[in-house]
Structure 1
Amino acid sequence: MADQCAQSGKDNRSPIPVIRWEEPPEGPVVVLLDQRRLPAEEAELVCADVPALVDAIRTLAVRGAPLLGIAGAYGVALAAARGVDVGAAAAELAGARPTAVNLAVGVRRALAPYRAALAGGGDRRQAAEAALGAARALHREDAEASARMARHGLALLDDLLPGGAHRVLTHCNTGALVSGGEGTAFAVALEAHRAGRLSRLWVDETRPLLQGARLTAYEAARNGMPYTVLTDNAAGSLFAAGEVDAVLIGADRIAADGSVANKVGSYPLAVLARYHRVPFLVVAPVTTVDATTPDGASIEVEQRAGHEVTEVAVPWTAGAEGGGGIPVTPRGTRAYNPAFDVTPPELVTAIVTEEGVVSPVTTGALAVLCDRSRQVTI
């Protein structure tokens, strides 16, 4: 089946789901909120096959570690329902963004019951239903995990920063746009806001694709939070002025030793935070911890197209290979464009998960947390 993606506009005044499964007469589809078009326009992307969904993942129409896991699971269910080669579709989905461990976790989550149903004598329809059930369960679980992370994170903030008027700096986007619930790091800030204990949310622009300026500011405005956007290179000035009480970021992969891969620009914030004695907190579900990746040096860091740096497009709607934006560098300029950087565990004050807080961040402490999570799940 050829790629099929269609777009439909939505009323800006009413929030819409970031991902959902639908079954129109022409067959099942995965519907996404197209994050490339925010904040200018809320538009949905309707993906009727796996190649379309993979393209949406690679071009950041859908993004963020927990949400990529959900998208991967729904992608397996879509392949099963459409009757294509599920194994090949799963491999394509899992490799779409190599640094984000949740994507592969979500793919495996739906693939396992699909294969088990077939092995148990079920037909392809029953196997497809098993995959969809797993995807929906993952979606629900992520929403529940988000709420628990928010509570754990606010309790930690209150413990570290007695007084209650928290000024928090965040990087990239970690709210409802990356989650089945209200997010990871952003959800903690939102919990503080609802409790009357958020004085200011400082929002890094997060260049080159401006996920902070476009997406985090969009979510903060929707929730009535006190926020201010700054260029990434202004963060040092903010720390020096004593205006940051804590840094809150998410994670795309956490190695077994506690090294954290997150949107590029996170590591410099950790260095600044350590120098200025400011807590640096990572908020992520347990599924983001990858025990098979021993340390930060073992994390594969995705390298993205140079045009994302050498051109500017707002809203960003270019494909993975093309450009089409306004040039900001001389023709032929080469660009260094890693999607992520890696923060070593010694610079991380704590990792906040749905199962609790790890501090200090060590291999042993993370292993205990993951073992406890598996026991709870079972």
Structure 2
Amino acid sequence: MVWSNNCLKLLDQTLLPGQVEYIYCHSWERIAEAIKKLEVRGAPAIGAAAAFAMVFGAREAAAANSWNAFKTALLSVSKQLAQTRPTAVNLFWALKRMEEVVERFDENSSPGEVLTALEQEAIAIAEEDKAVNQKISKYGASLFTAPQAVLTHCNAGALATVALGTALGVIREAKAQGNITKVFVDETRPLLQGARLTAWELHQDGIPVTLITDNTAGWVMKNKMVQSVIVGADRIARNGDVANKIGTYSVAVLAREHGIPFYVAAPVSTFDFSIKTGNDIPIEERCANEVKSFGGCCIAPEGISVFNPAFDVTLNSLVTAIITEHGVLRAPYEQAIEKLYQISKKSK
């Protein structure tokens, strides 16, 4: 993700690994489309992209003939962006930050002042994510004190953030310290983020990676081929329940059965302090064709019913630790996350 000359440059993740192509966004509508289509994906990356979309929205709204009309138009843009992906809380966190910038101004402010402030805030959100990635990587690597193989699900790397990644950032740092021997990557059906994105990232970095089908994870664990699991998150409730890509819950249950630690790496912006448990997390359901076809070929009977949730929720009892930019959280999560909440309020 690169912001330059009033243009947001995004790597089109839907084409990886076969093609490396970029999308040049000059409007908030194009960024919204990129988020919907998963051309840009990953909770932190979605949040940053939405922030830049608000800059474009403000430029469009600046043509309004009054301050109230400007705010109404911009809030309409924010509302439409919020509808692109309902589960990743970073999206709403970033939009709220941008809306709070607008609230600092009034009818006596010039459009130029507001636009400058919004652009500065969007850039700050992106830059903060880079620093957060580095801190998460350092704290997470401290959990890996001996050489071992790990398993990860979906993609929580540089493609899902603005820099190193969350779970993959930890893997990268632990590998640099000599404590990662191999990474097993679930393919992550139905959109294959593990196969297309995570395996590609790790291979690019020269980190030993082995791709497996989603239903191979249990067998890999039973045969003691991995010693830990680490994943990212799209939303974390106040009790430590974690929403992540569909299939994560299954991996967590398998890890518990085999006595393998299950780690979650996520920034504070992924915590939803307004909800008590994972039962309150909205789960996005995507179109049936993602499941009914593969590589452009139909693989299911015509007219068959499909259930295609994009995420599931892993209970806090299955999570060994949550790695954040403020350190490693452990159970009881209600208390640990309350402390994190107080820290986040002070840092605003």
TM-score interval w.r.t. the shorter chain? over 0.9
Pick the aligned partner of 1:145 from 132, 148, 153. Answer: 132
**Rounded Cα–Cα distance in structure 2 between residues aligned with 1:105 and 1:214:** 28
Instruction: Report the Cα offset of residue 361 of structure 1.
Output: 4.4
Instruction: Report the Cα offset of residue 374 of structure 1.
Output: 2.7
State the partner residue of 2:333: 362
Q: How does 1:97-176 map to 2 (within 5 A)?
A: 97-117=85-105, 119=106, 121-158=108-145, 164-176=146-158
Q: Note if 1:42 corresponds to 2:20.
A: yes
Q: Note if 1:54 corresponds to 2:25.
A: no
Give the secondary-structure state (helix, strand or coil) at the position aligned to 1:293: coil
Give the secondary-structure state (helix, strand or coil) at the position aligned to 1:37: coil
**Rounded Cα–Cα distance in structure 2 between residues aligned with 1:82 and 1:195:** 48
**Rounded Cα–Cα distance in structure 2 between residues aligned with 1:116 and 1:44:** 35
1:196-245 superposed Cα distances (whole Å, 9 cap, x missing partner): 22111010000000000000011001110011000000001001101111
Pick the aligned partner of 1:279 from 251, 261, 264. Answer: 261
State the partner residue of 2:51: 73
How many corresponding residue pairs? 338
Give the secondary-structure state (helix, strand or coil) at the position aligned to 1:290: coil
Q: Is the 8 A contact 1:351 1:361 kept in 2?
A: no
Q: Is the 8 A contact 2:130 2:163 kept in 1?
A: yes
Q: Note if 1:349 corresponds to 2:320.
A: yes
Name structure 2 gaps, 5 residues minimum: 63-72
**Rounded Cα–Cα distance in structure 2 between residues aligned with 1:140 and 1:224:** 26
**Rounded Cα–Cα distance in structure 2 between residues aligned with 1:312 and 1:252:** 25
Instruction: Report the Cα offset of residue 312 of structure 1.
Output: 1.4
Q: Is the 8 A contact 1:170 1:204 kept in 2?
A: yes
TM-score, L = length of structure 2: 0.95
State the partner residue of 1:194: 176
State the partner residue of 2:300: 329
Paired letter, 2:298: P
Instruction: Report the Cα offset of residue 260 of structure 1.
Output: 0.2
Give the secondary-structure state (helix, strand or coil) at the position aligned to 1:235: helix
Q: Note if 1:63 corresponds to 2:49.
A: no
**Rounded Cα–Cα distance in structure 1 between residues aligned with 2:345 and 2:227:** 34
Sequence identity (%):
40
Pick the aligned partner of 2:282 from 300, 305, 309. Answer: 300
Q: Note if 1:258 corresponds to 2:240.
A: yes
Instruction: Report the Cα offset of residue 332 of structure 1.
Output: 1.4
Paired letter, 2:113: Q
Give the secondary-structure state (helix, strand or coil) at the position aligned to 1:303: coil
TM-score, L = length of structure 1: 0.87
Give the secondary-structure state (helix, strand or coil) at the position aligned to 1:173: coil
Deviates further, 108-117 or 94-103: 108-117
Q: Is the 8 A contact 2:252 2:314 kept in 1?
A: yes
Give the secondary-structure state (helix, strand or coil) at the position aligned to 1:35: coil
Paired letter, 2:92: A
Q: Is the 8 A contact 1:95 1:104 kept in 2?
A: no
1:151-207 superposed Cα distances (whole Å, 9 cap, x missing partner): 10010222xxxxx21211000001110111100001011111112221110100000
Q: Is the 8 A contact 2:144 2:179 kept in 1?
A: no
1:41-88 superposed Cα distances (whole Å, 9 cap, x missing partner): 111112222222111101100000111110111111111123362111
Give the secondary-structure state (helix, strand or coil) at the position aligned to 1:36: coil
Instruction: Report the Cα offset of residue 258 of structure 1.
Output: 0.6
Paired letter, 1:368: K
Q: How does 1:7-22 map to 2 (within 5 A)?
A: 19-22=1-4
Paired letter, 2:110: D
Q: Is the 8 A contact 2:149 2:228 kept in 1?
A: yes
State the partner residue of 1:10: none
**Rounded Cα–Cα distance in structure 2 between residues aligned with 1:78 and 1:21:** 12
State the partner residue of 1:13: none
Q: How does 1:84-95 map to 2 (within 5 A)?
A: 85-95=73-83
State the partner residue of 1:185: 167
Q: Is the 8 A contact 1:73 1:108 kept in 2?
A: no
Instruction: Report the Cα offset of residue 255 of structure 1.
Output: 0.5
The root-mean-square deviation of aligned C-alpha atoms, in Å, is 1.2
Paired letter, 2:138: R
Q: Is the 8 A contact 2:10 2:22 kept in 1?
A: yes
Instruction: Report the Cα offset of residue 120 of structure 1.
Output: 7.1
**Rounded Cα–Cα distance in structure 2 between residues aligned with 1:249 and 1:183:** 11
